[in-house]
Structure 1
Amino acid sequence: MNYTPSLNDLKAFACIAGWQSFRKAADELGLAPSTLSHVIRTLEENMGVRLFHRTTRSVALTEAGEKLLSRLQPVLRDLDFALEEVNHFRDRPSGMLRINTSDIAVAMLLDAVVPDFLAQYPDMSLDLVTDGRLVDIVAEGFDAGIRLGEAIPQDMIAVRFGKETRFVAIAAPSYFNNRSVPHIPDDLKFHRCIRYRLPSGKPYHWEFARHGQELHIDVPGSLTLDHPVLMVKAAMAGLGIAYVPQTVAQDALANGSLITVLDDWCPPIAGLYLYYPGHRHVPSGLRAFIDVMKASTRGNS
């Protein structure tokens, strides 16, 4: 075969294979889905093989596509390393840094880290993707992720961001006008609780600990929400007891709109960490972001 695909065509193929979606790959590449579909169709015609099985609902690699991807991934990875090494000779790093995180962590980043980073490194761009689920950052094309320390996969390198945090049980003072205050987690079964639905669709079991004893409580309640900020709002309206990160409720706690209960059952836990795969070369842009993040953490300690 005399035909040699272009690098852009091969990158487009690898991007679709990674996302298993033409639409998501098109979004990442900045192309229209129809344009990307035409690129792959032309690639397949010129190579004389079908690379993807396509249906209206799914995209999957053929055997030929799997073989090409297995050979192509290390080549593209080596190319990225080579370009990154050249980038070291620049005065400042450049390019796009993609980080997967939660909306709570993004709010913290926007307070100081993001403004400082973009000011210090004007040739860099940030793509911060908020996601309730814990994704595979390598498979989905992210440079790094930010999550609570307890949720980070063990094969990742983790860098502390911010202080320890804690989850707290909160309610409006008026909620207790005709109710007793719970003193142990089991007392929650006599209360209305504002439940939290995980991204998987399953209800979150509230986690408590004291003196080495750990409890996971499937609390009762007629209201279920999927966002801590909404849970705080519902608690302020007197709809029940919520269990949320303290940072989300701190303003309402400070002005007295909410109070905490079961404080001695809500110990501090490891805070947020930025994490990235240890087996890959660390891009200069990510190293620069980590340096800015560490400086921000020291400044707030």
Structure 2
Amino acid sequence: MAGIFGVIGGSGLYEMEGMRNVRQVVVRTPFGAPSDALTVGEIEGRTLAFLPRHGRGHRLSPSQINYRANVYAMKKIGADAILSISAVGSMKERIRPGDIVVVDQFYDQTKFRPNTFFSDGVAGHISFADPVCPDLAGAVYAAARKVVKRVHRGGTYLCMEGPAFSTRAESEIHRKWGVDVIGMTNMPEAKLAREAEICYATLALATDYDCWHAVQEDVSVEAILDVLRRNVENSKKIVLEVARRLPLPGGCRCGEALEHAIITDGKRIPPSARKRLSLLIGKYL
């Protein structure tokens, strides 16, 4: 893997110390505008592209994020890996606020988000049993272990619609399902990254215990922001460490995800769809 290293996350991360030749890149996509301009620069001999998921100033709620445009923009500038940095609630006692989880599974509970590039004349079915790139997740875990003490390898991220936090009943049910963390932003982001043949991994920052814990206070925006402020510098250090571990060994098959995924007869794909998806499927047509 020798392309651009993409990072999607919170607003504070685009001010990374040590980035050189920093520039703002506005990317147009057939799916509309991404959350914001991409901040592109050089770090540790790699080109890094950062996209604030909610836009600068946190203007977009999770349901309003244009996930297709965000992932397409990363693909268009040449990213072959995306590290998602996300705040989550812990659903397990052992995952304490302030801990980091490098998840390996997702459970999608979102309801209102366009979740595929394949529509309007093109049907595609990716393999998504293992939604996280094992090579990238391994690099992220090793990097996180070098920066902080409490890092968990593996776990299931339940993605809820939001923007309200869970009711107590929902929180208890989610706990019974055995999920490890809960958040609002990694779906359909992970699924779209696979459709775009981009390696994807999540650095989940536990900020609270949702509202299930008998002793800890219920989740609040104030509590989340307090933990996130303390974790911004650690996140920057982890991104730097991941960059040092790239390129990946190339053992994954993320870059071949569409090889047998497109079901539609190429002759029946409408010209408009062919044009819209040429960046993603052009090599297979």
Query: Normalised by the size of structure 2, how large is the TM-score?
Result: 0.27
Query: Relative contact order, CA 8 A, sep 6+: which one is greater?
Result: 2
Query: Normalised by the size of structure 1, how large is the TM-score?
Result: 0.26
Larger Rg: 1
